[in-house]
């Protein structure tokens, strides 16, 4: 596995593969501190592409001023080992100045409306940072396919809209949520949780399962489903709900009646850690 640090190296890697003909380039964007969720994206990319690049970049522009940018977990050596073991051909790990050569006076990519919904409502500017850095990665690597986790379902919606609006050639592939055995969705931020908080955090996946099982029993009314989710949270009062919503996955607009493909998404604070979880209802 090659470790590349500059946009021009990544571009050259991609262009050489394309010039050779017959190659399919996959990109897996991450912020590092890789876990089995990231590994599943790399595996999916390996299954569908001839060559896979994993990017590892803690993107400052997607963090708010009081968020965890400086203390976000960083584990470069372990990340290299995991990416290589999963079969990535390239690990792209640029410095901040490489992707933001003009610092804060940068050109940004804005996806209107969707960027203000769900996580965008509680994290102003977050999706502007995500759309900008993913655009930079797409422009550099020119991937045929890029792999993202359904875990960040609103992010997938924003990026699908962005690629449609910009008429980009990259297909956004969403991969299922990988969970611990007890149901907790894997997240680099789970490392922040004290043991008691980790147990409390299970309320998110419990709420997701409750909504899924009510839908399986035939319930379709959004307000009934959301009330049931809130009831699950009420049993764990130290966990503070940020949002619990039933929305159309493409537009992130709230829906009144659940239908196949409806997104149930939840975000909550466990101590000082904000966690998210969701399900696409069948
Ligand atoms: P991050 O490093 O947290 O920015 O995540 C990089 C990518 O991995 C994103 O597309 C996430 O949605 C995805 N991801 C994170 N956690 C999981 C998980 N538990 N299962 C599947 N994908 C995940």
The 10s digit of each residue's pLDDT in 178-211 is: 999 999 999 999 999 999 999 999 999 999 999 9
Provide the token pair at 179.
């969970």
Element spanning 263, H or E: strand 262-270
User: Does any ligand 1 atom lie closer than 6 A to the CB of residue 187?
Assistant: yes
Tell whether ligand 1 has an atom less than 6 A from the beta carbon of residue 178: yes
d(CA 187, CA 164): 28
246, 264 contact by CB (below 8 A): yes
Confidence at residue 28, expressed as pLDDT on a 0 to 100 scale = 99
177 lines ligand 1 (CB under 6 A): yes
Query: Is 151 close to ligand 1, i.e. is its CB under 6 Å away?
Result: yes
pLDDT of res. 258 = 98
pLDDT of residue 104: 86
Token pair 């969970």 is found at: 179
Specify the 3-state DSSP secondary structure of 143. Answer: coil
CB atoms within 10 A of CB 234: 11
Contact criterion met (CB below 8 Å) for 206 and 179: no
Identify the residue whose C-alpha is closest to ligand 1 atom 17.
37
Residue whose CB lies within 8 A of the most ligand 1 atoms, among 31, 33, 37, for a mutation test: 37
- The catalytic residue positions are 38
Alpha carbon of 11 to ligand 1 centroid (Å)? 24
100-132 core/surface letters (b: 16 or more CB in 10 A; e: else):
beeeeeeeebebeebbebbbbbebebbbbbbbb
- Count, residues in the chain: 282
**β partners of residue 29:** 55
Q: What is the pTM of this model?
A: 0.98
Cα 253 to ligand 1 centre (Å) = 23
106 in helix, strand or coil? coil
- Give pLDDT tens digits along the chain (282 positions): 999 999 999 999 999 999 999 999 999 999 999 999 999 999 999 999 999 999 999 999 999 999 999 999 999 999 999 999 999 999 999 999 999 999 989 999 999 999 999 999 999 999 999 999 999 999 999 999 999 999 999 999 999 999 999 999 999 999 999 999 999 999 999 999 999 999 999 999 999 999 999 999 999 999 999 999 999 999 999 999 999 999 999 999 999 999 999 999 999 999 999 999 999 999
Q: What separation in Å is there between the alpha carbon of 38 and the centre of ligand 1?
A: 6
């Amino acid at each position: 596995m090659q470790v590349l640090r500059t946009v021009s190296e990544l571009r050259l890697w991609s262009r050489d593969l394309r010039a050779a003909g017959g190659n399919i380039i996959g990109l897996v964007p991450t912020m590092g501190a890789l876990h089995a969720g990231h590994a599943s994206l790399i595996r999916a990319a390996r299954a569908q592409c001839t060559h896979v690049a994993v990017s590892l970049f803690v993107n400052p522009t997607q963090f708010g001023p009081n968020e965890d940018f400086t203390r976000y977990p960083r584990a470069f050596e372990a990340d290299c080992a995991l990416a290589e073991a999963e079969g990535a051909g390239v690990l792209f790990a640029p410095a901040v100045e490489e992707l933001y050569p003009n610092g804060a006076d940068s050109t940004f990519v804005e996806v209107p409306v969707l960027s203000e919904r769900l996580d965008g409502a509680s994290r102003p500017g977050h999706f502007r940072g995500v759309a900008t850095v993913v655009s930079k990665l797409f422009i550099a690597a020119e991937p045929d396919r890029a792999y993202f986790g359904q875990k960040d379902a609103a992010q997938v919606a924003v990026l699908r809209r962005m690629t449609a609006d910009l008429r980009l050639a990259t297909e956004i592939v969403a991969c299922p949520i990988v969970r611990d055995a007890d149901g907790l969705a894997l997240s680099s931020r789970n490392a922040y949780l004290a043991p008691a908080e980790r147990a409390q955090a299970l309320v998110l996946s419990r709420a997701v399962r409750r909504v899924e099982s009510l839908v399986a029993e035939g319930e379709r009314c959004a307000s009934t489903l959301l009330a049931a989710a809130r009831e699950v949270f009420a049993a764990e009062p130290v966990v503070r709900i940020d949002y619990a919503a039933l929305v159309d996955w493409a537009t992130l607009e709230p829906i009144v009646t659940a239908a196949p493909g409806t997104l149930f998404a939840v975000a909550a604070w466990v101590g000082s850690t904000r966690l998210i979880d969701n399900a696409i209802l069948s």
